[in-house]
């Protein structure tokens, strides 16, 4: 079973629209970390955010915001007033501790391809 | 700091050939890992290491070997390449305690096995 599910394979929006990328995760650990990464067409992976399991505060960074809800095991990502440069594949990821290390295996979702049209 | 470096950037192998993908980081990170990225599959963890001398399997370890003799290097070995190993390979590193746990990714190696 997938530990991280990104049900939206592809999303297309027109510039200035708001868009939310969904992420649902599965873990039995009480301590874990959630991440979002961006992969633009150039192929590199860009870190966007980390959230630990004890911090359910939502976070806003410019046009980006994240909604973490443990009750629904979701960590959704919203881009407000989307721009063409936001076009990329976005990955959600989950890290579980292993061997006493805080950071262990990192599981990625399959990604959501976001296309923003001008 | 060069960050995470990977060599080569591109490689074509014939079935049955062996090769080593190199990964190095100069940030003194304890944690290093290898992923493969296939279309529609996201990134899948092959092997990872939480420190020199310690390695462990990820989701898709079959056909790959790793070792971690130094903090800086984490090579990935394909002993007998198969077409199913055609993929883009990413190496990553991060700290294991404190910090943001942001994984720093290398630029990737595009491997084709014919």
Kindly state whether A45 is in contact with chain B, defined as any CB-CB distance less than 8 angstroms.
yes
Determine whether the interchain pair B42/A109 forms a contact, defined as Cβ–Cβ distance below 8 Å. yes
**Residue A96 — very low, low, confident or very high, per pLDDT cuts 50/70/90?**
confident
Q: Give residue B108's Cα distance to chain centre.
A: 9
Mark A17-54 as b/e (b = at least 16 C-beta within 10 Å): eebebbbbbebeeeebbbbbbbbeeeeebebbbbbebe
Tell me the shortest Cα–Cα distance from A87 to chain B, in angstroms: 17
B43 closest CB neighbour out of A6, A91, A98: A91
Residues of A whose CB is below 8 A from B42? 6, 91, 108-111
Res B66: pLDDT: 97
- pLDDT tens per residue, range B81-90: 999 999 999 9
Place of tokens 């910090």: B99
Res B41: pLDDT: 84
Residue numbers of chain B with a pLDDT score lower than 70 = 1, 96-100
Tell me the shortest Cα–Cα distance from B18 to chain A, in angstroms: 26
| pLDDT reading at A61 higher than 90 | no
A111 closest CB neighbour out of B42, B45, B94: B42
Determine whether the interchain pair B103/A47 forms a contact, defined as Cβ–Cβ distance below 8 Å. yes
Determine whether the interchain pair B56/A43 forms a contact, defined as Cβ–Cβ distance below 8 Å. no
Determine whether the interchain pair A105/B45 forms a contact, defined as Cβ–Cβ distance below 8 Å. yes
Determine whether the interchain pair A98/B50 forms a contact, defined as Cβ–Cβ distance below 8 Å. yes
**Residue A68 — very low, low, confident or very high, per pLDDT cuts 50/70/90?**
very high
Tell me the shortest Cα–Cα distance from B80 to chain A, in angstroms: 26
Determine whether the interchain pair A99/B50 forms a contact, defined as Cβ–Cβ distance below 8 Å. yes
């Amino acid at each position: 079973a997938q530990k991280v599910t990104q049900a939206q394979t592809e999303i297309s929006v027109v510039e200035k629209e708001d868009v939310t990328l969904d992420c649902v995760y599965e873990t039995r650990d009480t301590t874990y970390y959630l991440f979002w990464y961006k992969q633009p067409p150039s192929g590199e992976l860009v870190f966007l955010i980390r959230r630990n399991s004890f911090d359910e505060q939502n976070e806003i960074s410019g046009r980006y915001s994240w909604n973490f809800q443990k009750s629904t095991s979701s960590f959704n990502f919203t881009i407000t007033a989307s721009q063409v440069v936001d076009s990329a594949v976005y990955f959600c990821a989950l890290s579980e501790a292993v061997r006493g290390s805080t950071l262990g295996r990192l599981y990625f979702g399959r990604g959501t391809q976001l296309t923003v049209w001008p | 700091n060069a960050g995470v470096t990977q060599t080569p950037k591109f490689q074509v192998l014939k079935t049955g050939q062996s090769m080593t993908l190199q990964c190095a980081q100069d940030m003194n990170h304890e944690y290093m890992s290898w992923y493969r990225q296939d279309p529609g599959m996201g990134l899948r963890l092959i092997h990872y290491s939480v420190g020199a001398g310690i390695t462990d399997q990820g989701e898709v370890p079959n056909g790959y070997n790793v070792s971690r003799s130094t903090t800086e290097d984490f090579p990935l070995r394909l002993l007998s390449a198969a077409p199913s190993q055609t993929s883009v390979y990413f190496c990553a590193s991060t700290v294991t305690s404190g910090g943001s746990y942001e994984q720093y990714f290398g630029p990737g190696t595009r491997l084709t096995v014919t």
